[in-house]
Structure 1
Amino acid sequence: MFGAGNKILGLDIGSSNIKWTVYSEAKNMPTIYNWGLEETPPGAVRNGRILEKQSLLDKLREVIVNNRIKVAKASITLACPEMVIRTVDVPKLKQKEIQNVVKYESEQFIPGNSDEYIIDYKILGEIKENQNDLLKVLVVAVPSGIIQNYIELLENLSINPRAIDFFSNSTCRFLNNFLRDVKDKNYVLIDVGASNTIITIAEQGVPVLTRLVQIGSEEIARTIANSFNLTLEDGEKYMKTHGRVFFDNEQPEDKFLWEMMTSIMPTVELLLKNIFQSVEFYKSKTQKSIETVLMTGGGSYLKHIDKYFAQQLSMNILPLKGIFPVKMKNNIPEDIINLFCNVLGLAFREEE
């Protein structure tokens, strides 16, 4: 049995799956004691919002009991369309004064009443502009109602919240440790989930631009299901067993492959368009280039999607293979590690 001690439950609750770990934090090499992948109850979560609290609560209780998990604290990683992430430049001030300036700056880009948001920030570094010393600050704002629902969920499990982190931050933290020996930590991270794709641009491993697009692997599975007259469930199976992305010069003669191409590619192209727009926006604002792309999430397993995005973006694809920067008492198979980058990143919180 996993005793409470200093062990923490890490949760990534998506619309399709729940990824969980039991871990202890460390600066360089945290320990993962156990992990699991469970189906999210249908309709319980959508776009980061808890819609059916009781069914989700029952599922988490089942996970805790079946895996004999005993923890006092839990951390959650979260992404939702309402989340606002910006980098701002503020005067070099004392900590309390920075908080006031960040709140004022946040009011300029938060839609609606900023009092209805929980605002947090992280100092990325110092810069000089017109002989003035400034701080570059990453600001994250999330509707307080969304956060409160997750806090109440943990309280109903008799677990104290350790932290609620945003997706890009926790994933980049894991990748930074995985890429420890890579000098250039500027990259585009594309996480293709079931209902959403999260596009993150990182500078030296720090997320400076994050965009959530409401297109995911479910949409690809749905187009396959429509093309082949299947149920959505069978469409998802087809996507996993037969699905693939086709390159520009491919014109398959086989009827099955042709129908697969015409069903998949419009959604993939729409996703690519959103990624391209994000990269071009970043380039225009910073006058900097990005040469590396990484992919995570269930949709990253669609055959050739990583190579296709890299080719179309004129970037290098960096596969997630090698020695991972965690001690695992119960190993996560390398072929599904892409699903767990987000929740594994929670174990590195002490580095901040």
Structure 2
Amino acid sequence: MVGLDISSSSIKLVELARTRKGYALKALAHVALPREAIVENSIMDTTAVQQALLDAVEIGRPSTRNVAVALAGNAVIVKAVQMPVASELELEGRIEFEADQHIPFSMDEVYLDFQILGPSREDEGSMDVLLVACKREVVDDLQIVLHDAGLELKLVDCAVFALENAAEITSEHRLVPNPDTVSPEDAEVHALIHLGATMMHVNITINGVSAFVRDHGFGADQLTKEIQEAHGIGFDEAERMKKERFSDVSPEAVEAFYAGLVAEIQRALDYYSATQPEYAVNKMLISGGGALIPGIADELQGRVGIDTVVLNPFEQVEIDPKRFDADAIMREGPLYTIATGLALRSFDQ
């Protein structure tokens, strides 16, 4: 199965193979989308998106046309709830009734799924269950565009969970054995932050288990807009300056961007702290196109006061230098985090 990260700015394609040591890269592509082709999960320019998908397949040449995609923002609702302990089979029979109490849409308007997270920390006789509802309209529209591009939609994930999945194969973020035996003081509490063009995905994990997820309507395009305003240039030229001549960018534009970004991150941390006050975040891992902004990890560490690193999903993935430009791929690795997390779903048991 191929991981396809279809964002507002581009399409990222990743296919992996399992090896004795872990994983190897099989296919990779990155194709830009015209601005406004996708707005808030809605496909506005079907022709442009379909062509970008065809181009991604042509460039990447994956071995399969089966794909996994991720949804985020207003297209998906994720809610953790407490329910009486039950088997997965028993839960299937009553999950729709439970979801109806928590999801602000008619059950006819969504595709519904759930995952049992484990025993509740707050109530001995209960378990924590994750409810996920995706808007049918968004999924169905996406399925049509993929089909018309010769691709078959096999799996729909949430971007925040694809992010977590990709992080788990790196040295920076590992699942902790027997997490329930670890005290709050010794816990590994990581804020996974994926900064895309127009959206930021946040997944805070406690000892490798997701405890809080949130999407924010803030992305690296905000820096482009600050550059536009500061330098009096068009969006495309500002984007080039951001990527190719960052040292020439006005300090005022950079400061305005970081002020907004830190405010959004702090808002997420505050929401999380209200639900898990005893488990303080002790590490932030930044990915996405925004992670390629020079010096972003140091800036955020200094401003937020939490140890911060850039998350590269290809850190421990084998990349054949005869087939790929390994150095370029490693430099741009954070861009492919969501697509990598989706590609890893091929190996789920």
The alignment's TM-score, normalised by the length of structure 1, stands at: 0.84
Q: What letter corresponds to residue 133 of structure 1 in structure 2?
A: G
Aligned residues of 2:284 and 2:307 also touching (Cα < 8 A): yes
Q: 1:275 to 1:27 in 2, by over 3 A?
A: farther
Aligned to 2:16: 23
Aligned residues of 1:84 and 1:110 also touching (Cα < 8 A): yes
Q: CA deviation at 1:192?
A: 1.4
Q: Which moved more, 1:144-153 or 1:311-320?
A: 311-320
Alignment counterpart, residue 212 of structure 1, candidates 185, 201, 215: 215
> CA-to-partner distance for each residue in 1:221-280, whole Å, 9 max, x for gaps?
112111111111111122224447xxxxxxxxxxx77xx222232232122112112111
Q: 1:195 to 1:159 in 2, by over 3 A?
A: same
**Pairwise mapping of residues 195-344 of structure 1 onto structure 2 (< 5 A)?**
195-243=198-246, 260-287=250-277, 288-320=279-311, 324-329=315-320, 330-331=323-324, 332=326, 333-344=329-340
Aligned to 1:175: 167
Aligned residues of 1:176 and 1:185 also touching (Cα < 8 A): no
Aligned to 2:111: 118
Aligned residues of 2:291 and 2:310 also touching (Cα < 8 A): no
Find the aligned partners of 1:174 and 1:92 in 2 and give their Cα distance.
30
**What is the percent sequence identity of the aligned residues?**
19
Q: CA deviation at 1:107?
A: 2.4
Find the aligned partners of 1:110 and 1:159 in 2 and give their Cα distance.
30
Q: 1:102 to 1:182 in 2, by over 3 A?
A: closer
Find the aligned partners of 1:108 and 1:271 in 2 and give their Cα distance.
33
Q: CA deviation at 1:293?
A: 0.2
Q: Which moved more, 1:176-185 or 1:216-225?
A: 176-185
1:71 is aligned to 2:64: yes
Unaligned runs of at least 5 residues, structure 1: 1-7, 245-255
Q: 1:221 to 1:72 in 2, by over 3 A?
A: closer
Aligned residues of 2:292 and 2:332 also touching (Cα < 8 A): no
Q: 1:291 to 1:321 in 2, by over 3 A?
A: same
Aligned to 1:249: none
Q: 1:192 to 1:67 in 2, by over 3 A?
A: closer
> Any idea what SS the aligned residue of 1:111 has?
coil
Find the aligned partners of 2:99 and 2:20 in 1 and give their Cα distance.
31
> Any idea what SS the aligned residue of 1:340 has?
helix
Find the aligned partners of 1:176 and 1:67 in 2 and give their Cα distance.
24
Aligned to 1:253: none
Alignment counterpart, residue 106 of structure 1, candidates 81, 99, 104: 99
Aligned to 2:181: none
Aligned to 1:156: 148
Aligned to 1:3: none
Unaligned runs of at least 5 residues, structure 2: 177-186
Aligned to 1:346: 342
**Count of equivalent residues:** 331
> Any idea what SS the aligned residue of 1:20 has?
strand
Aligned residues of 2:174 and 2:208 also touching (Cα < 8 A): no
Q: 1:120 to 1:34 in 2, by over 3 A?
A: same
> Any idea what SS the aligned residue of 1:112 has?
coil
Q: What letter corresponds to residue 82 of structure 2 in structure 1?
A: D
Find the aligned partners of 1:321 and 1:16 in 2 and give their Cα distance.
20
**Pairwise mapping of residues 48-59 of structure 1 onto structure 2 (< 5 A)?**
48-59=41-52
> CA-to-partner distance for each residue in 1:66-112, whole Å, 9 max, x for gaps?
55445241111232333211211111113233234433333233223
Q: What letter corresponds to residue 116 of structure 1 in structure 2?
A: E
Q: 1:74 to 1:137 in 2, by over 3 A?
A: same
